[in-house]
Amino acid sequence: MTRTRITLPLCVAIAFQVLVLVGMVAKAALPLWTGTEIRVATVPVDPRSMFRGNYARLDYDFGRLPADAFIDVQRLRAGEVVYVSLARGETGEYEFAAASLEKPAEGIFLRGRVTNVGDLIRIRYGIEAFFAPKELALKLEGDLRDGGTAVLMVSSNGRAALKDVLP
């Protein structure tokens, strides 16, 4: 075999892998670059993981919704994509407004996945963990014991990224 017959496919394979990795990073960061900033109430759950490092695990009121929040609750299954609309509350923080299996045409909404179906529908949005250095993660646990505010960047397709957590 000649050197060019080996070199070209090898370079194409390496370039493809690099493009896939860059695409994954860009997809995760897109809400931070193009999203709308909103603030929501949050409560920490757990500050440390042996495998993932130091972080504050966060919980949101709109992460657990009553089954009657959905019109067609019989269609819901674990893994189903749902859309949760948020509206600005009296305190200035965004709160649950509506839930749907269809993408809303307008307004601020989050795209999430159902993790558990029962009397309460549990939904994950990918904003449930805030990674921080050990000292900050432990400080956040104490500061947020009674609740705090999560600063989210929400893109127009409902994907959200956690920007900051405030006591």
Would you say residue 160 has pLDDT above 80?
Answer: yes
Tokens describing residue 27: 């997809």
Place of tokens 């989050």: 110
Mean pLDDT on 136-153: 80
Contact 67, 73 (CB under 8 A): yes
In this predicted structure, the answer to whether residue 22 has a pLDDT above a threshold of 80 is yes
- Given a contact cutoff of 8 angstroms between Cβ atoms, the answer to whether 149 and 93 are in contact is yes
Among 13-17, 67-71, 89-93, 156-160, the minimum mean pLDDT is found in: 67-71
Distance between CA atoms of residues 93 and 56, nearest Å = 20
pLDDT at 74: 77
pLDDT of residue 47: 52
pLDDT of residue 158: 92
Q: How many CA atoms lie within 13 A of 41 on its CB side?
A: 14
Q: Tell which wins on pLDDT, 15 or 133.
A: 15
Give the per-residue pLDDT at 15. 94
Provide the pLDDT for residue 52: 59
**How high is the pLDDT of residue 48?**
54
- State residue 44's pLDDT score: 61
CA distance 110 to 66: 17
> Would the pLDDT of 65 be above 90?
yes
